[in-house]
């Protein structure tokens, strides 16, 4: 399976969230340049302009970030243009975001007491309207309002267009103090914005212009700093974030659950590292909050199955039109997509089975590309590559094209001992929302080893993914697994948290997996605490440089264990071949080629793999391996 690559599949969308949150759009002068930093890394630049026109002012802001990682490059660029009148009141905006091969454009304008929003590649999509109660301020209007803050404790409130929401919102700004910047003393402004659980810090000069902005985020603090043009252009080359930055968003449990894709019920205890951010909304038809305090929350997740067979032609109970409609990211009316959905579904008239066919097609026909930040379904269909986000977008669009109500879900998924950011799809079958995951598929609905906190029809485009829940959760929590139940009815409960694997009297013991490994006296157990991205449960080494590793290889639900085992061993030791071997009373398969050897033993939804350089060493160490029954 591709699980190893999916756990950081949300890196692109999370970076987009940070960039949009850090956008100022409220502090332009004739021309100003900034560098953009995430933590200690310089990753891009920002350019602001301002010019007077006959009826007011036109301000623009363009930004670009480039992140190099995992042999891929994530590139995100944005452009924001605002028109305001002489009194600083906002008349219209245009926002462009480029995260793939195409640019997503949103236009907004004021008409009377309404704010009209038009989205699409060229801003040609359907028009939505929002009521406006107060004047909206443009960049100059905001700057004048902030410039009125003189003493610590001074507070002003205003409404402005907020790029991270893609619509107007409320801002409360407070002067909290002063900070030296070079030979200048700057005012420090803390701004609380709609849709953001944490405030943004802005350092402004004597004229109200921003010199520095700071925003905490999933990958650390995002900061823009005033610079000259040469420094900003140099920053356009981007940078590389250390692996520790991305890994900081992972939630390690210290426990490797057996066969997580068959888990029907999961109970997990979450601890918040920053309780002031609060918890997002968790309660849904398949999730229940059992206990909640500011710093601790216990969540129960259940896997939902179809109640009964529902015809593909039947109206979904309680379905909303927007869960079937096309929008900027879900091009469900694209003729090629509609035709493909019809071909995949074929003569299947059961809505759930049709959705399963679509899930398998996406899983089989997409490939991993960590350089795709966010793309619409028509581009994904053409390129057939991306991260878990693209898998979820394409499956959601295909389901809608087939007449099945569907929505995008974001949160965490469990794999290899930890929870990592992930995206999947929910389809409406009868009166139930059921989860499907084309990136990490299960045999039936998606398993319960996942935590959802973003549900969206993507009608608001990219703004729908800029939920405050992202900031509340990613990089902010720790977790302990308390209980789980598998599809076969096996249930285990550990009120104090499930025990981690360890070494007892020289042997490897994993009580949860049901694995014990005793090695000869001249060998010792190592690397037994690894989690993602490693699928290694433990290793054994000796003083002569010998090494043998024990791994768990998960299989896709539609792959037979024998075929998958063969493919995995081929990848390590060459062409398929070998012979049967006994491993602790279990039947295994031994292969040797070109100085490498491997033993595979089938298990539930995958197989155990013992691999090393010497057949004799491998057989010697296999003698002390005790595995759970199949």
Provide the mean pLDDT of the chain: 88
Place of tokens 């350092």: 203
Question: Per-residue pLDDT for 14 more than 70?
Answer: no
Question: Per-residue pLDDT for 433 more than 90?
Answer: yes
pLDDT at 27: 45
Residue 354 and residue 436: Cα distance in Å, rounded?
12
Which of 6-10, 302-306, 617-621 has the weakest average pLDDT? 6-10
pLDDT at 105: 87
**Joined tokens for residue 229:** 């043009």
With 0.85 as the threshold, say if the pTM is over it.
yes
Q: What is the pLDDT of residues 172-212, one digit of tens each?
A: 999 999 999 999 999 999 999 998 898 999 999 988 899 99
Contact 98, 78 (CB under 8 A): yes
pLDDT at 491: 95
Please list the alpha-helical segments (H only) found in 402-547: 468-473
Question: Per-residue pLDDT for 562 more than 60?
Answer: no
pLDDT at 456: 92
**Joined tokens for residue 45:** 């630049």
Contact 471, 196 (CB under 8 A): yes
Q: Are strands 385-386 and 367-368 parallel, antiparallel or unpaired?
A: parallel
pLDDT at 570: 57
Please list the alpha-helical segments (H only) found in 222-288: 229-235, 243-247
Residue 594 and residue 113: Cα distance in Å, rounded?
75
Tell me what percent of the residues of the chain surpass a pLDDT of 70.
89
Average pLDDT over residues 320-341: 92
pLDDT at 1: 44
pLDDT at 568: 58
Residue 607 and residue 560: Cα distance in Å, rounded?
11
- Collect all residues with Cβ–Cβ distance below 8 Å to 385 and sequence separation of at least 6: 366, 367, 368, 369, 372
pLDDT at 574: 54
pLDDT at 5: 47
Residue 47 and residue 429: Cα distance in Å, rounded?
48
Q: Are strands 155-162 and 136-137 parallel, antiparallel or unpaired?
A: parallel
pLDDT at 28: 45
Residue 248 and residue 241: Cα distance in Å, rounded?
11
Look up residue 498 and give its DSSP letter. P
Using pLDDT thresholds of 50, 70 and 90, give the confidence band for residue 4.
Answer: very low
Most confident residue range from 16-30, 93-107, 110-124: 93-107
Q: What is the pLDDT of residues 343-355, one digit of tens each?
A: 999 999 999 999 9
Q: What is the 3-state secondary structure (H, E, C) of 383-445?
A: HCEECHHHHHHHHHHHHHHCCCCEEEEEEEEEECCEEEEEEEEEEEECCEEEEECCCCCCCCC
Using pLDDT thresholds of 50, 70 and 90, give the confidence band for residue 470.
Answer: confident
- Collect all residues with Cβ–Cβ distance below 8 Å to 505 and sequence separation of at least 6: none
pLDDT at 317: 55
Assign 328 to helix, strand or coil.
coil
Q: What is the pLDDT of residues 405-422, one digit of tens each?
A: 999 999 999 998 999 999
Q: What is the pLDDT of residues 252-286, one digit of tens each?
A: 999 999 889 999 999 999 999 999 999 999 989 89
Question: Per-residue pLDDT for 29 more than 80?
Answer: no
Which of 31-40, 351-360, 580-589 has the weakest average pLDDT? 580-589
CA-closest candidate to residue 212, choices 471, 36, 31: 36
Q: Is 309 left (phi over 0), alpha (psi -120 to 50) or beta?
A: beta
pLDDT at 322: 83
Tell me what percent of the residues of the chain surpass a pLDDT of 90.
61
Question: Per-residue pLDDT for 89 more than 50?
Answer: yes
Assign 400 to helix, strand or coil.
helix
Using pLDDT thresholds of 50, 70 and 90, give the confidence band for residue 630.
Answer: low
CA-closest candidate to residue 452, choices 329, 282, 274: 282
Contact 599, 583 (CB under 8 A): yes
pLDDT at 159: 95
- Map out the domains of the chain with their CATH numbers: 20-245 (2.50.20), 260-306+315-487 (3.10.620.30), 502-626 (3.40.1000.10)
Average pLDDT over residues 321-331: 89
Question: Per-residue pLDDT for 230 more than 90?
Answer: yes
**Joined tokens for residue 222:** 């995002």
Question: Per-residue pLDDT for 233 more than 70?
Answer: yes
Average pLDDT over residues 89-112: 89
Place of tokens 């930890």: 418
Average pLDDT over residues 539-568: 77
Q: What is the pLDDT of residues 517-530, one digit of tens each?
A: 999 999 999 999 98
Average pLDDT over residues 48-73: 87
Which residues are bridge partners to 491 per DSSP? 485
- CA torsion sign, 263 to 296 to 245 to 456? positive
Question: Per-residue pLDDT for 388 more than 70?
Answer: yes
pLDDT at 49: 94
Using pLDDT thresholds of 50, 70 and 90, give the confidence band for residue 314.
Answer: confident
Using pLDDT thresholds of 50, 70 and 90, give the confidence band for residue 318.
Answer: low
Say which residue, 576 or 544, is predicted with more confidence: 544
Question: Per-residue pLDDT for 477 more than 80?
Answer: yes
Give residue 285's Cα distance to chain centre. Answer: 22
pLDDT at 565: 53
Assign 533 to helix, strand or coil.
coil
Which of 98-102, 213-217, 373-377 has the weakest average pLDDT? 98-102
Average pLDDT over residues 491-514: 94
């Amino acid at each position: 399976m591709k699980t190893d690559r999916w756990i950081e599949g949300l890196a692109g969308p999370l970076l987009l969230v940070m960039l949009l949150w850090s956008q100022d759009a409220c502090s332009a002068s004739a021309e100003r340049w900034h560098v953009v930093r995430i933590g200690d890394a310089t990753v891009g630049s920002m350019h602001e302009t301002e010019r007077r026109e006959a009826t007011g002012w036109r301000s623009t802001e363009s930004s670009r970030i480039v992140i190099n990682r995992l042999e891929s490059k994530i590139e995100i660029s944005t452009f924001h243009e605002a028109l305001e009148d002489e009194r600083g009141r906002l008349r219209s905006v245009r926002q462009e975001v480029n995260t793939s091969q195409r640019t997503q454009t949103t236009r907004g304008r004021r008409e009377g007491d309404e704010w009209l929003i038009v989205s699409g590649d060229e801003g040609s999509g359907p028009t939505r309207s929002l009521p406006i109660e107060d004047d909206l301020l443009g960049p100059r209007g905001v700057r004048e309002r902030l410039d009125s803050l003189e003493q610590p404790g001074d507070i002003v409130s205003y409404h402005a267009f907020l790029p991270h929401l893609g619509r107007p919102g409320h801002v409360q700004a407070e002067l909290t103090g002063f900070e030296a910047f070079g030979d200048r003393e700057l005012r420090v402004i803390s701004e609380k914005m709609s849709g953001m659980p944490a405030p943004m810090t802005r350092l402004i000069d004597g004229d109200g212009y921003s010199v520095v902005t700071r925003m905490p985020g999933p990958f650390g603090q995002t900061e823009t700093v005033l610079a000259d043009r040469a420094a900003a252009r140099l920053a356009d080359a981007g940078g590389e974030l250390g692996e520790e930055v991305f890994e900081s968003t992972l939630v390690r449990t210290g426990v490797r659950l057996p066969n997580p894709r068959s888990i029907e019920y999961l109970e997990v205890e979450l601890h918040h590292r920053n309780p002031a951010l609060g918890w997002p909304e968790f309660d849904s038809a398949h999730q229940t909050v059992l206990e909640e305090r500011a710093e601790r929350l216990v969540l129960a997740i259940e896997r939902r199955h179809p109640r009964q067979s529902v015809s593909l032609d039947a109206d979904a109970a309680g379905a909303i039109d927007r869960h079937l409609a096309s929008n900027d990211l879900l091009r469900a009316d694209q003729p090629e997509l509609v035709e493909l959905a019809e071909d995949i579904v074929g003569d299947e008239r059961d809505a759930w089975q049709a959705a399963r066919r679509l899930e398998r097609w996406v899983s089989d026909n997409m490939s991993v590309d960590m350089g795709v930040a966010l793309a619409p379904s028509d581009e994904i269909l053409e390129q057939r590559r991306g991260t878990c986000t693209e898998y979820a977008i394409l499956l959601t669009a295909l389901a809608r094209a087939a007449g099945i109500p569907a929505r995008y879900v974001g949160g965490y998924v469990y794999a290899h001992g930890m929870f990592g950011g992930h995206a999947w799809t929910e389809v409406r079958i009868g009166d139930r929302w059921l989860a499907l995951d084309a990136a990490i598929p299960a045999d039936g609905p998606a398993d319960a080893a996942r935590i959802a906190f973003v549900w969206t029809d993507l009608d608001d485009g990219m703004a729908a993914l800029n939920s405050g829940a992202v900031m509340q959760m990613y990089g902010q929590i720790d977790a302990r697994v308390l209980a789980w139940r598998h599809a076969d009815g096996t249930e285990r409960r550990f009120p104090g948290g499930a025990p981690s694997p360890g070494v007892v009297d020289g042997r490897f013991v994993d009580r949860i997996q049901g694995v014990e490994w005793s090695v000869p006296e001249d060998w010792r157990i190592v690397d037994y605490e690894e989690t993602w991205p490693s699928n290694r449960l433990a290793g054994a080494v000796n003083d002569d440089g010998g090494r043998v590793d024990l791994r768990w290889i998960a299989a896709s639900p539609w792959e037979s264990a024998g075929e998958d085992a063969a493919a995995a061993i081929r990848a390590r030791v060459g062409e398929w071949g070998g012979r049967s071997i006994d491993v602790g009373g279990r039947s295994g398969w031994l292969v040797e080629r070109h100085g490498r050897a491997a033993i595979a033993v089938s298990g539930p939804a995958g197989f155990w793999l013992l691999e090393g350089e010497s057949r004799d060493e491998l057989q010697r160490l296999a003698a002390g391996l005790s595995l759970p029954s199949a």
